[in-house]
Amino acid sequence: MRLQKATRFALYSVLECARDPQRPVSATEIAQKYEVSIHHLSKVLRELGRAGILEAARGVGGGYRFRGNPRRLALMDVIALFEDISSRSGAGREPGARTDVGRSLGVVLGEIDEIAKATFRSITVDTMLKLARRQKRAGYGRGNAVISASAATHPPDCARRHRRP
């Protein structure tokens, strides 16, 4: 399951605002941090506001605040606003899709999509924030540890088992 840019921007925005729900985060701050287009991000933020996930505060010191419950809002709740998650659209129109091998590959890809959807349904904003904190402490981004989402809610000794060789 490949996520569109708007979906990734939405996830960045929700997670950034949920880090400190009392502090308004400006669209410019998010765009600069994640190196994304402010124009495209603004459209995404408006949609998140309409969905009631973020709240816009205008004026000096304004920005966006997280309004949801981080323990209940799953990543799939955000993804579903921007993606057609009902089925693999266009799967039957791809070259070779009408052959026995093509149909078999379609079945496997469909199963992979279902696993991805189930995973996105099971990971909450709170879990992602815990994972981000652990990644930061482990020095991820400097070539050190890779911590899985399932390890984010387990003791640190579990996270050590998920290191990349």
Which SS3 state, helix, strand or coil, does residue 91 take?
A: helix
pLDDT in tens, 49-74: 999 999 998 888 889 999 999 999 99
Asked if 75 and 40 touch (Cβ cutoff 8 Å), the reply is: no
Residue 102: how many other CB atoms lie within 10 Å = 15
Higher-confidence residue of 84 and 86: namely 84
Assigned token pair, 24: 């308004």
Instruction: Give residue 87's pLDDT.
Output: 61
**Residue 20: is its pLDDT beyond 60?**
yes
Average pLDDT of the residues in 152-159: 50
The answer to whether 62 and 24 are in contact (CB under 8 A) is yes
Quickly list DSSP for 4-20. Answer: PHHHHHHHHHHHHHHHS
Residue 162 has pLDDT above 50, yes or no: no
Query: In the predicted model, what is the mean pLDDT of residues 30-53?
Result: 96
Judge if pTM exceeds 0.75.
Answer: yes
Both tokens of 112, joined, read: 């992979």
**Rounded distance between C-alpha atoms, residue 17 and residue 26, angstroms:** 9
Per the model's pLDDT, the better-predicted residue between 57 and 157 turns out to be 57
Domain 5-138 fold is Arc Repressor Mutant, subunit A (1.10.10)
Facing residues of 63 across strands?
57
